[in-house]
Structure 1
Amino acid sequence: MIHLSQRYSSILIASCILTSIIGNAVSNQAVARDLFVNNDNGSDSHSGLSATSVGGKQGPVRTIGKALQVAKQGDSIHIANTGVPYQESISIQNSRNSGLVGKNFHIIGNGATLDGRKTIAYDQWTAVGNQIFEFKPPRTTFLLLYIDNHPATQVDVPRDARKVPPLEELQWCLFKHKVYFKPANNRLPDAFDVSYTHAQVGITLINCQHVVVENLVVQGFQLDGINVHDNVFNTQLLQIKSRGNGRSGISVGGASRVQIEACLLGNNGAAQLRTEGHSVTTLKNNDLVDTNPQAPAVVSDGGKIIR
Structure 2
Amino acid sequence: MQPFSLLYYCKQQTASRLIYCCLLLIWLLINPQIISSTDAATWYVNNKTGSDNNNGISENTAVATISRAITLAGRSDILELANTGIPYRETMLFRNLGGRPDRPFVVEGNGAVLSGLKAIDVAKWEKVKEGLFVFPLDKTPYGNPFLVSRGKRIPQAKSLDLLQTGEHYWDRSGNKIYFLCAAGKQPADYELEATLRISGFTLTSASYIVCRNLTSEFFSNDGFNIHGDCRGIRLENVIARHNGDDGISIHESGGLIVQNAYVHDNFFGIQDVNASRSVYNGVLAERNQIGVSLVGGYHSLVDCQIRNSIQKEIDIAGANPGHLIGAEYNPLCKTILFAHNVSLFGNGNQTGLSIRNGATAIIERSVISDSQTGLMVDSNSVCHMSQTAIIDCQMTLKSTSQNIYFDYNYYTTGQISWQNSLYQAGQFSDYVTASKEDTNSHVGPLKVGVDGIVELPPGSEITKTKWKLGPSAPFTSTFTSDNP
What are the ranges of 5 or more consecutive residues in structure 2 without an aligned counterpart? 1-23, 302-484
Q: Once the 2 structures are TM-superposed, how far is the Cα of residue 130 of structure 1 from its aligned partner?
A: 4.8
SS at 1:154 equivalent:
coil
CA distance in 2, matches of 1:66, 1:100: 22
Q: Once the 2 structures are TM-superposed, how far is the Cα of residue 45 of structure 1 from its aligned partner?
A: 2.2
Which is greater in Rg?
A: 2
Equivalent of 1:287, from 274, 284, 287?
A: 284
Equivalent of 2:168, from 160, 163, 172?
A: 172
Relative to 1, partners in 2 of residues 1:23 and 1:195: Cα closer, same or farther, differing over 3 Å? same
Amino acid at match of 1:272: G
Matched, 1:146 2:148: yes
- In the alignment, what sits opposite 1:34? 42
Query: Do the aligned partners of 1:151 and 1:267 also contact (CA within 8 Å) in 2?
Result: no
Q: Once the 2 structures are TM-superposed, how far is the Cα of residue 35 of structure 1 from its aligned partner?
A: 1.3
Query: Do the aligned partners of 1:201 and 1:227 also contact (CA within 8 Å) in 2?
Result: yes
- In the alignment, what sits opposite 2:246? 248
CA distance in 2, matches of 1:100, 1:28: 12
Counting only pairs closer than 5 Å after superposition, residues 256-271 of structure 1 correspond to structure 2 as 256-268=254-266, 270-271=267-268
CA distance in 1, matches of 2:43, 2:130: 53
- In the alignment, what sits opposite 2:296? 302
CA displacement, residues 226-246 of structure 1 (integer Å, 9 cap, x when unaligned): 210011111101122122222
- RMSD of Structure 2 on Structure 1 (CA): 2.4
Equivalent of 2:75, from 73, 76, 91?
A: 73
SS at 1:77 equivalent:
strand
Amino acid at match of 2:169: C
Work out the percentage of aligned pairs sharing the same amino acid: 26
CA displacement, residues 43-87 of structure 1 (integer Å, 9 cap, x when unaligned): 2222211111xxxxxx11111111111112221110011122212
SS at 2:118 equivalent:
strand
Relative to 1, partners in 2 of residues 1:123 and 1:297: Cα closer, same or farther, differing over 3 Å? same
Amino acid at match of 1:71: A
CA displacement, residues 189-222 of structure 1 (integer Å, 9 cap, x when unaligned): 1111211111112222122222101111212222
Query: Do the aligned partners of 1:204 and 1:228 also contact (CA within 8 Å) in 2?
Result: yes
Relative to 1, partners in 2 of residues 1:174 and 1:72: Cα closer, same or farther, differing over 3 Å? closer
Q: Once the 2 structures are TM-superposed, how far is the Cα of residue 185 of structure 1 from its aligned partner?
A: 5.2
- In the alignment, what sits opposite 2:109? 109
Matched, 1:23 2:20: no
Residue correspondences, number: 275
CA distance in 1, matches of 2:274, 2:29: 34
Query: Do the aligned partners of 2:208 and 2:231 also contact (CA within 8 Å) in 1?
Result: yes
Query: Do the aligned partners of 1:29 and 1:74 also contact (CA within 8 Å) in 2?
Result: no
CA distance in 2, matches of 1:304, 1:21: 40
- In the alignment, what sits opposite 1:219? 217
Matched, 1:274 2:242: no
Scaled by the length of structure 2, the TM-score of the pair is 0.53
Q: Once the 2 structures are TM-superposed, how far is the Cα of residue 146 of structure 1 from its aligned partner?
A: 0.8
CA distance in 2, matches of 1:136, 1:249: 28
- In the alignment, what sits opposite 2:185? 187
Query: Do the aligned partners of 2:101 and 2:232 also contact (CA within 8 Å) in 1?
Result: no
Counting only pairs closer than 5 Å after superposition, residues 196-215 of structure 1 correspond to structure 2 as 196-215=194-213
- In the alignment, what sits opposite 1:237? 235
Question: Greater CA deviation, 125-134 or 243-252?
Answer: 125-134
CA distance in 2, matches of 1:87, 1:174: 22
Amino acid at match of 1:128: V
Counting only pairs closer than 5 Å after superposition, residues 51-130 of structure 1 correspond to structure 2 as 51-52=59-60, 59-94=61-96, 97-130=97-130
Q: Once the 2 structures are TM-superposed, how far is the Cα of residue 167 of structure 1 from its aligned partner?
A: 0.8
What are the ranges of 5 or more consecutive residues in structure 1 without an aligned counterpart? 1-15, 53-58, 158-162
Q: Once the 2 structures are TM-superposed, how far is the Cα of residue 92 of structure 1 from its aligned partner?
A: 1.4
Relative to 1, partners in 2 of residues 1:25 and 1:248: Cα closer, same or farther, differing over 3 Å? same
Q: Once the 2 structures are TM-superposed, how far is the Cα of residue 166 of structure 1 from its aligned partner?
A: 4.5
Q: Once the 2 structures are TM-superposed, how far is the Cα of residue 303 of structure 1 from its aligned partner?
A: 2.2
4+ runs of 1 displaced by more than 6 Å? none
> Relative contact order (C-alpha < 8 Å, sep 6+): which is higher?
1
Query: Do the aligned partners of 1:144 and 1:245 also contact (CA within 8 Å) in 2?
Result: no
CA displacement, residues 145-186 of structure 1 (integer Å, 9 cap, x when unaligned): 1111121222333xxxxx521513x32233564332233452
